[in-house]
Structure 1
């Protein structure tokens, strides 16, 4: 049996309850392997459209996601895991190939992530639960190991 060499665990999140569970798994994997956790907050289509039309301000979106990213920081720091985070548009009104799954995989490549923990939940129609749509895509096309929770 070969051992994994994991330096960075990527966990895409969307503020859902399943995202909290995925963060817990990502932090534990990072702790076990002495790795860093990076939480990628993926914005859903309605938020992206509102940003593009000026209906909401980027600072307001950043403030809304801050409590979730603070929760990631608390969970990581509680077990001594280094962490970072970023926010990405999960959709584009101009580029058809931009969707939550491609955003997760592109970020994994850019950050050279060694492992991805993606929340997988039933599609409920709740706008914040954007990653349910991405889980299957990430599982099919990721070049790194993926844990779907």
Structure 2
């Protein structure tokens, strides 16, 4: 059913559960596991000019660690694994990756933001991917 499963990660501690779901589904379907981390350019561009490069470098390092985790867990499960560190607006980059890599399923986490916290964050990347995705999206609720 699925040949290419994408786990979109933000490197947070809660993504472990999301990754477990993605690995399980990819293993059950003998699929390739794709890991994607997007350096959100809005985060470092919002910083003061003199620290933008440091913020960007920190985000890239966080992404490399997150993608290493995808690689290790996927390979331990006997999967073929492909990872990519990209830069841009996360939901846009995820959509582009889905199309270019032939992704059949996207697995993402949500941190369960509600009310004022959700408004303050202007929605979530997961919400925007759900609204625009051309393939199924599995959302793993993270406490």
TM band (smaller chain): 0.7 to 0.9
Deviations 1:99-139 (A, max 9, x none): x22221111011110111011113497xxxx9x71111222
Larger CA deviation: 14-23 vs 29-38? 14-23
Confirm whether residue 134 of structure 1 aligns to residue 125 of structure 2: yes
Q: CA deviation at 1:48?
A: 5.2
Confirm whether residue 117 of structure 1 aligns to residue 107 of structure 2: yes
Give the TM-score normalised by structure 1: 0.74
Count of residue pairs brought into register by the alignment: 131
Match of 2:95 among 105, 125, 129: 105
- The aligned residue for residue 11 of structure 2 is 15
Match of 1:46 among 43, 48, 53: 43
Kindly indicate which of the two structures has a greater share of residues assigned to strand: 2
- The aligned residue for residue 95 of structure 1 is none
Mind listing any 5+ residue stretches in structure 2 that lack a counterpart? none
2:112 match: secondary structure: coil
Q: CA deviation at 1:65?
A: 2.3
Kindly indicate which of the two structures has a greater share of residues assigned to helix: 2
Mind listing any 5+ residue stretches in structure 1 that lack a counterpart? 92-99
Q: Is the Cα–Cα contact under 8 Å of residues 12 and 118 in structure 1 kept in the other structure?
A: yes
Q: CA deviation at 1:89?
A: 2.3
1:147 match: secondary structure: strand
Which 4+ stretches in 1 moved above 6 angstroms?
Answer: none
Q: Is the Cα–Cα contact under 8 Å of residues 23 and 73 in structure 2 kept in the other structure?
A: yes
Q: CA deviation at 1:68?
A: 1.6
Cα distance 1:42–1:53, how it changes in 2: closer, same or farther (>3 A)?
Answer: farther
